[in-house]
Structure 1
């Protein structure tokens, strides 16, 4: 599943199987920016397909920022993709806008009937509920965390895990898994977070997976957002079920530690693999997705 482009960086990415082809969605930005730190403000959602999840054919971008003024007119950030009950595809994504200088993150969605062309179908984006989540200006926050929607079905309902921040907690302990539910994928109710504040400032690009009968939460958090910094960046917490509770305090990290935005994916042959982007072991951001690691070969380090 290794993937790279000569003219663009890619970083966060996710995969979905439509039954006949694998679809790889990823954040991308032009290398003409020269400074990779600028990529977040120019990100669009790339798209590629494969028959075997290893050799990819690049397609037109799934989404780019919308025309302004709009909640997603500055950049498109990470999301997830599901196959709807009618067989069509829906991609959930994060958007930021020029209107609030990219400081407020919101979540929307777009649909595709052919798996190639996506049309926005979200009448109003999903936003953080200030009853439970820190919003712009609360607790002195200069931005509003509400991103990386991971959508899955469990016991007849759709659930969305979200990178969010708890109210009234310092920045290095405030990271929580936000939660929203839906019966039809169109109407969403924001709920209380599924985790309590702990040793992470954010729990990015999370997924709930059941691998070999074990429920795990996968998320990413770099050293700069850890209360007790260590080399780990991709983390795995054991849980009691698909909706937790998870042992966040006992989470272990993946080696090698230069990987970020790790995704656990089950391929059609039943094998689980870990895919992540190369954040640069030597401090040089490469903007590529290296070959995935079979899950049984993944090394987890920590006290969990």
Structure 2
């Protein structure tokens, strides 16, 4: 059955597996806000566990903004990812914003845990900002382009398959692109130890105004980068390449290597609708095989605010993904 909390909206999610248990993390906000658009500035993180990605046991709030005085993440703690290091310690990487900047400038933070629920920030928590030699590869100030924020969010962290270090992908934008909807990017950073991160140039840009909630994974010999975007953020070029009526939901990039070059997957948009049905999806290997999970959207007037049941993902011989709703969903 769909994962719902009676008095909370839930939206973006990410997952970690410990043994045979899946740990799900979800952005949440109280429904007492009435207007679902207000949820973004009132977000904390909630934790639940499951054996099958369908039936969930709620464990309550697990992480929230810093409450004691001004801090770089005293406004919001948004979408992230969780990984385990070789010593068994769990690491949460998350998006943070500050009140003094009206939450317009995003940065990436870092916390650790031994139990996957109680998290302690590493130092101040801040681990990545748009600074250093490669900062000029990114749109550092949203006022330079007219975009609505300075994007550095939704970190996805994984082991480097070709070495002993770690890779981070994140939502970003590049400068100097005349069309706003062609400036979206998947940013990139590297680390030898999960503690010290070096900003690298983006691994992809173009196609959309933003590529939110990137998730990079390998299937067979191919690499995939799942992302979500809105119908209103399709670029002119992508509209020419894809004759579909623009949709809101999740699509993906495809590559032969995790560092790219990446290209937008050809063919139909993977998982979209207008108004949006499911957003901020993740693809997870569950007991029932490869599945996609995301939150029920429906637009402002019919906002779902819960995590939908998983639906099956298939891969055709050309390596292209397809959503096959074969699981019985109780939404």
Q: Note whether the superposition's TM-score is higher than 0.5.
A: yes
Residue of structure 1 aligned with 2:303, choices 272, 285, 288: 285
In 1, the alpha carbon distance for the partners of 2:185 and 2:196 equals: 23
In 2, the alpha carbon distance for the partners of 1:75 and 1:230 equals: 30
CA-based RMSD: 2.1
In 1, the alpha carbon distance for the partners of 2:196 and 2:32 equals: 39
CA spacing shift, 1:112–1:239, aligned 2, 3 Å: same
Contact 1:232–1:254 (CA under 8 A) maintained in structure 2:
no
Residue of structure 1 aligned with 2:258, choices 236, 242, 248: 242
In 2, the alpha carbon distance for the partners of 1:211 and 1:8 equals: 35
Structure 2 residue runs of 5 or longer lacking an equivalent are 240-244, 316-320, 324-331
Deviations along 1:64-94, one digit per CA (max 9) or x if unpaired, are: 1112301111111101010121112111100
**Mapping of 1:125-204 within 5 angstroms?**
125-129=127-131, 130-136=135-141, 137-154=143-160, 155=162, 156-169=164-177, 170-196=179-205, 198-204=206-212
Quote the residue 1:272 is aligned against. Answer: 290
In 2, the alpha carbon distance for the partners of 1:255 and 1:208 equals: 17
Q: Which moved more, 1:76-85 or 1:255-264?
A: 255-264
Quote the residue 1:263 is aligned against. Answer: 282
Q: Which moved more, 1:42-51 or 1:117-126?
A: 117-126
Deviations along 1:220-262, one digit per CA (max 9) or x if unpaired, are: 0111222236124210222112222221274742235221111
- Indicate the SS of the match to 2:203: coil
Q: Which moved more, 1:61-70 or 1:255-264?
A: 255-264
TM-superposed deviation, 1:140: 4.3
In 2, the alpha carbon distance for the partners of 1:45 and 1:11 equals: 10
Contact 2:139–2:175 (CA under 8 A) maintained in structure 1:
yes
- Indicate the SS of the match to 2:60: strand
In 2, the alpha carbon distance for the partners of 1:246 and 1:48 equals: 33
CA spacing shift, 1:85–1:100, aligned 2, 3 Å: same
What is the TM-score with the length of structure 1 in the denominator? 0.91
Deviating 4+ runs (over 3 angstroms): 122-125, 139-142, 249-252, 297-300
Deviations along 1:110-160, one digit per CA (max 9) or x if unpaired, are: 111122211111443411243111122333455210000000012222000
* Higher helix content, 1 or 2: 2
- Indicate the SS of the match to 2:100: coil
TM-superposed deviation, 1:270: 7.4
In 2, the alpha carbon distance for the partners of 1:2 and 1:204 equals: 23
What is the TM-score with the length of structure 2 in the denominator? 0.84
CA spacing shift, 1:250–1:15, aligned 2, 3 Å: same
In 2, the alpha carbon distance for the partners of 1:72 and 1:282 equals: 27
**Mapping of 1:204-243 within 5 angstroms?**
204-227=212-235, 228=239, 230-243=246-259
CA spacing shift, 1:21–1:121, aligned 2, 3 Å: same
TM-superposed deviation, 1:98: 0.4
Q: Which moved more, 1:288-297 or 1:9-18?
A: 288-297
In 2, the alpha carbon distance for the partners of 1:122 and 1:178 equals: 24
